[in-house]
Amino acid sequence: MIIFIGPNRQRGNVLGFKAFQDAPATKHKTYNWLFRTHRLPPATYIFTFIDRLHPRERQLAAKIYRHINAAGTGFKALNDPAKAKNRLGILRALHGAGINDFNGYRADEAPQPAKFPVFLRNLSVSLPPVTDLIYSQSELEIAIEKLAQTGEPLDDLIVIEYRAEPYMEDYFVKLSAYRIDDRYMLDLFLYDQKWYVKYGEVDTMPPNSAEIEAKLLRENKWMDEAKTVFDLAQIEYGRVDFSLVDSRPQFYEINFHPQFTMSEYESKCPVRLENAKFAARRRMDAMKALVSKSSAQPIANIVDSEITAFRLRPWRNFAPQRY
């Protein structure tokens, strides 16, 4: 059994599992459930949504994470809520380690980026940038002030130095690598003719790129670099998005709970379709490896005064829609 811990609105992220007859059994539980339940069934627990929790919520979740990992055979927890870095923490760590050639800054700290252009995006949500590219310090200061005037909390905005270039012809590419416990794997490429590549149509791609993709997927290219990134971010399950600039991987963010989609199966390109099947099969095999064959029994949840207060005093709890 695999149990994902996260908000209700992310329940659909693993619907793609249904395409596999041998998919492991999964459940989706909320942090509300995690803090209220008295018994924890044997399973691999994957903590998601960590970067959007309040610090006190992360503290409680981290105690349960440690409790699960100390329970022995049949119990495992991935993504330590106390250690996993958020988007800005990841960018700063990667720049400090010399992996990324660009950095990130908090908008409420009078940022003075070392390089331009830059753009602004939210820290707590996975949405497109809130500005176009900004080319000077004066433009940046004006943009931050305008956002503040519209009600944007500046402590939830980060300034990111732009670091991207076309991958083939005039197409930008989003490369992705998954970490699933101790397995690392390259995923299908996404292309767009805009620099911010979010989703992309499955068959939008440069000529002959599917054959190159096939080779790189099977080589599992760039996984040494991806492993270093996940280790620095202290994230044990997720997907890192990156691209190539001057032939070097530049890593942008890590998603704690990426969608297991099957839209790639709609490709009309035979090579691309085989690439999609290969990547999805490899991911599914890694998910299956998370399941313990132990016949362990449920364990009691932690005993903690904050947990007791959470259960008994609902009026003092955090906003329920977050769970």
User: Domain tally for the chain?
Assistant: 3
Residues 25 and 65 in one domain: yes
Mean pLDDT of 232-245: 98
Q: What is the DSSP string of 102-143?
A: --EEEGGG----SSS-EEEEESSS----SS--B-SHHHHHHH
- pTM score: 0.94
pLDDT digits (tens, 9 = 90+) for 100-140: 999 999 999 999 999 999 999 999 888 899 999 999 999 99
Query: What CATH number is attached to the domain comprising 177?
Result: 3.30.470
Name the residue range of residue 217's domain: 172-288
Residues 77 and 37 in one domain: yes
pLDDT digits (tens, 9 = 90+) for 40-77: 999 999 999 999 899 999 999 999 999 999 999 999 99
Structural domain contains residue 98: no
Residues 181 and 274 in one domain: yes
Rounded distance between C-alpha atoms, residue 153 and residue 24, angstroms: 41
Largest CA distance in the chain: 63
- Which amino acid is residue 279, in one-letter code? A
Q: Give residue 200's region: left, alpha or beta (phi > 0; psi -120 to 50).
A: left
